[in-house]
Amino acid sequence: MKKESGNVTKANALTNIHNLRISITQDLFRIMFLMFTSLVLGIIVNSIHPMGLPIRLSKVKTPGIPTWVWNQLHITDAQTAFEEVSAGQGLLVDVRDRKDYQKGYAQGAINLPYHEFEEYYPAFAKRVSKEEHLFIYCYGSIECVLSSRVAKRLLVYGFKNLTTIKQGFAAWKKSNLPIDKKSQDMK
């Protein structure tokens, strides 16, 4: 009796394992199908989306930037930006975090921190004309992505004339260009 019930338990366990294997195999195929379908759906939606992204990074160097935005952005170096701003041909915008801005910023730059964009933008929009030529800079990595991201947001809001400064604040300091520490509060 004991041996018989032991055999039945063993048979049940083997059946359960077998059923589990079938379930998991079935699930894996369905999951692959779902992943493929959602990929196709995503590509279709992306192709008609106003903020659709390039699938491959070639012309557009930074992820998260639509091609039409990239085409409207200009890039310049710190020295050229300084000369243009000094000649009254533009305005500097510092998109670094507030605490970093307060430690020192390019002379005359207005702070519009990327990570607090929604809070700072209303005051920025009241003060800065949409026709103004804006020179945007961030920290200074080789691909200064925060500048591009803020520029993208500003383009969507109607600012047309935007230039990002290559290697941002690091390049500004390296070129020994004037730096301020007194806060230009936007909030």
Nearer to other proteins, 13 or 20 (CB): 20
Q: Which stretch binds other proteins (CB under 8 A): 5-13, 33-41, 126-134, 172-180?
A: 33-41
158: left (phi over 0), alpha (psi -120 to 50) or beta: left
Applying the rule CB under 8 A, the residues between 125 and 164 that interact with other proteins are 145, 149, 152
Residue count (the chain): 187
- H-run or E-run covering 47: helix 2-48
Query: What stretch of H or E contains 134?
Result: strand 134-137
Distance CA 115, CA 24 (A): 43
Residue 17 is a binding residue for other proteins (CB under 8 A): no
Q: Which residues on adjacent β-strands are paired with residue 179?
A: 106
Among 14, 39, 75, 142, binds other proteins (CB under 8 A): 39
The nearer residue to other proteins, 67 or 86, going by C-beta atoms, is: 67
Q: Does 22 bind other proteins (CB under 8 A)?
A: no
How many CA atoms are closer than 13 Å to the CA of 26, on its beta-carbon side? 6
CA distance 18 to 1: 26
Give the nearer residue to other proteins in terms of CB position, either 37 or 89: 37
Q: Which of 48, 87, 88, 118 binds other proteins (CB under 8 A)?
A: 118
Residue 8 bridge partners (DSSP): none
* Position 18 contacts other proteins (CB under 8 A): no
Question: What residues make contact with other proteins under the rule CB under 8 A?
Answer: 19-20, 23, 26-27, 30-31, 34-35, 37-39, 41-43, 45-46, 49, 51-57, 62-66, 69, 114-119, 145, 149, 152
